[in-house]
Chain A
Amino acid sequence: MVKTSVSLCGITIDNPVIPASGTFGFGLEFAELYDINVLGSFSFKGTTKDARFGNPTPRIAETEGGMLNAVGLQNPGVAHVKAVELPALAKVFHKPVMANVSGFSIEDYAYTCAALDDEEQIGWIEVNISCPNVHGGGMSFGTSAQNAAAVTKAVKAVTKKPIIIKLTPNVTDICEIARAVEVEGADGVSLINTLSGMRISLPKRKPLLANVTGGLSGPCVFPVALRCVYQVYNAVKIPIVGMGGVSSAEDVIEMMMAGATAVEVGAANLVDPFASKKIVEALPLAMEKYKISSLTEIIGAAH
C-alpha cells in the first residue's frame, strides 16, 4: 500500500493533486461529473475585490501541445464568492479548498484576503501576483521582487490562513522573487503561472487573441515549469506547489522530484474534464512502478 498523502503548509491532503485556478471554476461543473472529494484539493477561480467581466473575446487560442488564454480574471467578486459559490461548494466538497486571489493594487489584495479569512473551508490562500499594478504603470506585481514582497506583507497582515504566492515565470530570475516573498512571511510559493505568448491569424493578419497576448499553458510548458521548480527549491525553504503542463501521474512524480510538495493540474482539465481524477487514480500504480512507498520521500529527490 503506497502513501499518497502530503502535508502542505501544515494541512495534510490525501494526495498532492490540485486542479489549478481558472481551469476548475468553483468546482461545481466538475462535481456534476465525478466526486471531486477524490482530489487533494483544488484552487478556485481567481477572485478579486469587485466583479470582473474580463477581456473581450476571442480569449482562447491553440498551439502545438498547449493553449493560450486571455480570460482576464473574469469572476463574480469576493462578496458573491462568499455568499453564493462557497456555500454551494460546501455541499459537494468536504476538504480544505485553496482560494485564489488577484488584485490590481496592494489594497485590493489585502481587502480580498481579509474578506476570505473567516471562511472555514478555505485552507490556503494562493495569491496571484501576475496581474498588472494599476499604480505601477501596469507592470505585473510579480515581476519585481519589491512589489511581490509588498503584496506578501500586506496579505500576511490580514489573514491567518497560510499564504501561497503564485509566481510568474516571465522574469529574469524567479528565485529572486521567491526569496523576496519568503522573507516577508509567505508560507509557500506556487509556480509557474502561464508564460506570456501570442498567435497571429494568417488570413486576418491580426493577433488571434483580442487581448493580443495571452498566457501559454499545457504540456509544452512542462519542462520550463520543472526547471523553475527545481531552481526555486534551491532558493527557498518554504514548500512549493508545482504546476505547468502536468498531464499524468508521472508528471506529478517528476514535479515532486524537482522539489514540489503538491502539484496543480491546469489546462489538462479543459481538454479532459476527468483529467485530475484520472491522475489521482493513476498515482499509486505509477508510484509502485518507480518504487516509491510514500510521496513525501521524493520531494526534491532529484537534487
Chain B
Amino acid sequence: MKDTIFTVLNNKMIAKNTYEMVMRGDTEGLASGGFVNIKLDGFYLRRPISVCDFDGDTLTIIYKVVGKGTDKMAQMKGGEELAVLTGLGNGYDVTKAGDAPLLIGGGAGVPPMFHLCRELIAAGKKVSVILGFGAKDEVFYEEKFRALGADVFVTTVSGDYGIRGFVTDALAGLNYSYFYTCGPEPMLKAVYDKSVTSGQFSFEERMGCGFGACMGCSCETKYGNKRICRDGPVLEKEEIIW
C-alpha cells in the first residue's frame, strides 16, 4: 500500500452515468484486479475504485455516479489533486489463465477486466471478452478491448445493442481455458453456475478502511473468513460459498 497524491489529467463521461478519470502519479504496486482508495474533500470515508488501466505514470479509473461522493468526483477537472491509497487488494492471478482465458465484466465490473486483458494478451494468450450492460447508452470500452486484440462480445439486457440478455447468454457457445469475472453479485452467481472451467471472481463490498484493519467487508469462504479488501477482492471459484 502507498499513500500518494495523483493529479487529474482528464475526467470525462464515456457512457450514461459512467466516467473515465485519468490521473498522473506513482503507479508502482498497482495490479490487474486491485483497487485504489480515494479521499474526497467533504467525505469522511474514502471511495474504493478498481484499477482499470495503468502504465509507468498514469492510472485510469472508471466509475459510475451512484451517490454524492462519485457525483463530486464527476465534477473534478484536470489539474486537481487527489489523495489516493494505492496497491490495495490481491488482484487477479494471471498464472492460471491457460491459453484461451475468458474475461466477463458486467457494468461497473468491466473496468477491472481492461488491464487484465492487456496483460494476458501481452503474455500471448488468446483472450475472449464478454461485456454486459443494461442498454446501449451504458456501453463503454468495446472498441478499446478490441484494439488490445481480444474477441469481444457485448450483451445488453434491453437488447438494443449486441446480444440480447445477460453475460451468461454469450457464455454458452464459447470455448475457454479459464475465466476472470467482475460485476454485480447476481451476475457473478450466474457465471458461477454456468461456467464450465475454474475461474476467479472479483467482489464488491462496503469498506471502512480498505486495507484490512476494520473487518467491515468480511465474507465467509470454504477456507475461512476473508476480508474483501485485503484477502480479496478476487476469490477463486473453489473457495466461494454459494
B is a partner of A: yes
Tell me the A residues contacting B by CB distance below 8 Å.
22-25, 29-30, 32-33, 45, 53-54, 57-67, 69, 71, 74, 218-219, 267, 269-274
Which residue of chain B has the shortest Cβ distance to A266 in the bound complex? Answer: B214
Q: Is the CB of B39 within 8 A of A274?
A: no
Q: How many A-B residue pairs have CB under 8 A?
A: 87
Complex: A110 Cα to B148 Cα, angstroms: 62
Would you call A74 and B213 a contact (CB within 8 A)? no
Residue total for B at the interface (Cβ-Cβ under 8 A): 25
CB distance from A20 to the nearest CB of B (A): 11
Could you say which of A54, A60, A218, A273 contacts B1, with CB atoms under 8 Å apart? A273
B219 within 8 A of A: yes
Using a CB–CB distance below 8 Å, which chain B residues touch chain A? 1, 3, 39, 43-46, 85, 205-209, 211-220, 225, 230
- In contact, A69 and B209 (Cβ under 8 angstroms): no
Tell me if A218 and B207 are in contact (CB < 8 A). Answer: no
The distance from the CB of A245 to the nearest CB of chain B, in whole angstroms, is 11
Evaluate whether A25 and B218 lie within 8 angstroms (CB atoms) in the complex, with A58-B205, A62-B43 already known: no
Contact of A57 among B45, B209, B212, B219 (CB under 8 A): B219
Interchain CB contact under 8 A, B217 and A270? no
Cβ contact within 8 Å between B206 and A273: no
Select one of A66, A269, A273 contacting B44, CB under 8 A: A66
Chain A CB within 10 Å — which of B39, B44, B207, B220 has the most? B44
Shortest beta-carbon distance from B186 to chain A in Å: 15
* Most central of B206, B213, B218 by chain A CB within 10 Å: B213
Q: List B contacts of A61 (CB < 8 A).
A: 206
Task: Find the A residue at minimum CB distance from B42.
Answer: A64
In-complex Cβ contact of A23 among B46, B207, B213, B217 (8 A): B213
Determine chain A's interface SS by DSSP, over half rule.
loop
Contact B208 A67 (CB under 8 A): yes
Known: A71-B216, A74-B215. A64 touches B44 (CB 8 A): yes
Instruction: Please measure, in the bound complex, the distance between the C-alpha atom of A29 and the C-alpha atom of B217, giving whole angstroms.
Output: 15
- Pick the contact of A274 from B3, B207, B208, B215 — CB < 8 Å? B3
CA distance A57 to B228 in the complex (A): 11
Q: Which residue of B lies closest to A71 (CB)?
A: B215
**B3–A71 CB distance below 8 A:** no
Per the bound structure, the CA–CA distance linking A61 and B1 in Å amounts to 23
Complex CA distance for A120 and B34, rounded to whole angstroms: 39
Q: Using Cβ atoms and an 8 Å threshold, which residues of chain B touch A33? A: 1
How far, in angstroms, from A60 to B229 measured CA to CA in the complex? 13
Check A271 against B214 for contact (C-beta < 8 Å). no
Residue contact B208 to A270, C-beta cutoff 8 Å: yes
Q: Is the pair B213, A59 in contact by a Cβ cutoff of 8 Å?
A: no
User: CB distance B213 to A60 under 8 Å?
Assistant: no
Contact, CB under 8 Å: B214 / A71: yes
Indicate if the CB atoms of B213 and A270 lie closer than 8 Å: yes
Q: B residues within 8 A CB of A69?
A: 208, 214, 216
Top 7 A-B pairs, shortest CB-CB distance: A270-B209, A60-B216, A58-B206, A74-B215, A60-B208, A60-B206, A62-B45
Give the chain A neighbours of B215 by CB distance below 8 A.
Answer: 22, 25, 45, 54, 59, 71, 74
